[in-house]
Amino acid sequence: MCRYVQNRTRPEGCIAERYIAEEAVEFCTQHLSDVSTVGVPSSQKMGVSKPLSGCTVSVVDQDLLNQAHLYVLENTEEVLPYIEQHMIHIKTAYPKFRKRTKWLQDKHNSTFIQWLRFKVQSELEEDNNGVSENLRWLAAGPNMAVPLYRSYLIKGIKFNIKAQDDVRTTQNSGVYLLAQTMQVASAKDKNPILSNMGFYGVIQEIWDLDYQKFTIPVFRCDWIDSSGLVVDELGFTLVDLSKIGHRNDQFVLASQVKQIFFVDDPMHRGWSVVLSMPNREYNDVIGDEVLGDVIIECEPFTRGMPNVDTFDELVLATKQSVQKILDPD
């Protein structure tokens, strides 16, 4: 705090005023995301996506590979017209089920990959028919030998698998996804509702799907079941990390998620509080991957500030708190 002191005859006042000024600037930057914090150099990694660890190449389970591949297809804009065509094809082939939305979706999920492969192949044989290079390789499917990573940088943000976090003091495996989902009241519900829903999960594996000409990183996550999700009276979201659901939808594009953190709730055993924070820039000047981590187990230099009503009272309260630190006796 010595750098805060500009007038050595009144060090407490200098420290209090500088601290308040910095807090005000930090508060403003939370609402002005395009403005950089004073004194912090712009990171060269913002927007960069690349592996941060060595990989292990593994021949994965075919069902899991299809699950990941289907998610990539359904989240690729170029594939959306083919999804509509396939749904029309199913309704025409099974007219008795054309009004059963869930049945149609399940049928689509189980047959779309093969249908798209043959559809694109037939269009390629018919003088290409406007099929792009990307669509051609997407329809062909990914290589069964998948590189698996422990750590990956996505748009300047570091993500780890859970096993990597377990041996570190930092946490980078929590993710949040807001997605449109089909919600049903029961197994017999014939009229499901499409609505936006938030999902909280923990990264178990990081796959880099190889489509020959390009790769797409995806996360295989353990998603928290709806029965393990509550919002308390203060508005905090609590999750039970032991209640895992959505086994048929484990994958998500790495570029779609937001990083979150789970902190053990001391009042409710077995539950964790969900915390999120704006993406902060960092400058890894020595190449140490640890610098990209966000440490959430930290304490402020003061235990707390009393409630005040005016700016003068705020300055006085700050001075008193600083004085306790400088002169604990």
Does any domain span residue 32?
Answer: yes
Asked if residue 66 and residue 138 are part of one domain, the reply reads yes
In this prediction, residue 33 carries a pLDDT of 60
Asked if residue 73 and residue 23 are part of one domain, the reply reads no
Does any domain span residue 126?
Answer: yes
With bands split at pLDDT 50, 70 and 90, how would you rate the model's confidence at 268? confident
Asked if residue 86 and residue 18 are part of one domain, the reply reads no
With bands split at pLDDT 50, 70 and 90, how would you rate the model's confidence at 128? low
Q: Return the beta strands (E) in 184-312 as ranges.
A: 193-210, 215-224, 229-231, 237-239, 244-245, 251-253, 258-264, 272-275
Choosing from 116, 143, 170, the residue where a domain stops is 143
State the residue range of the domain holding 32. 12-43
Does any domain span residue 148?
Answer: no
In this prediction, residue 283 carries a pLDDT of 41
Per-residue model confidence as pLDDT tens digits over 61-113: 999 999 999 999 999 999 999 999 999 999 999 999 988 888 999 999 999 99
Choosing from 113, 143, 173, the residue where a domain stops is 143
Closest CA relative to residue 218, chosen from 26, 66, 116, 109: 66
Count Cβ neighbours within 10 Å for each residue of 295-306 and write b for 16 or more, e otherwise: eeeeeeeeeeee
Does any domain span residue 257?
Answer: no
Both tokens assigned to 133: 């290079």
In this prediction, residue 153 carries a pLDDT of 94
Both tokens assigned to 144: 């069964």
Asked if residue 72 and residue 128 are part of one domain, the reply reads yes
Measured over the CA atoms of residue 211, residue 214, residue 217 and residue 218, the dihedral's sign is negative
Element (H, E) at 111: helix 101-125
Asked if residue 107 and residue 33 are part of one domain, the reply reads no
Of the listed ranges 43-47, 116-120, 125-129, the least confidently predicted one is 43-47
Question: Is the pLDDT assigned to residue 142 strictly greater than 90?
Answer: yes
Does any domain span residue 115?
Answer: yes
Question: Is the pLDDT assigned to residue 310 strictly greater than 70?
Answer: no
Asked if residue 70 and residue 39 are part of one domain, the reply reads no
Q: What total of structural domains would you count in the chain? A: 2
Asked if residue 90 and residue 32 are part of one domain, the reply reads no
Asked if residue 39 and residue 97 are part of one domain, the reply reads no
Does any domain span residue 5?
Answer: no
Both tokens assigned to 193: 């509702």
Asked if residue 134 and residue 74 are part of one domain, the reply reads yes
Question: Is the pLDDT assigned to residue 253 strictly greater than 80?
Answer: yes
In this prediction, residue 291 carries a pLDDT of 40
Does any domain span residue 70?
Answer: yes
What CA–CA distance (Å, rounded) separates 72 from 251? 9
Collect all residues with Cβ–Cβ distance below 8 Å to 250 and sequence separation of at least 6: 64, 67, 204, 220, 221, 222, 223
Q: Mean pLDDT of all residues in the chain?
A: 80
Of the listed ranges 38-42, 217-221, 245-249, the least confidently predicted one is 38-42
Choosing from 143, 162, 179, the residue where a domain stops is 143
In this prediction, residue 329 carries a pLDDT of 52
Does any domain span residue 26?
Answer: yes
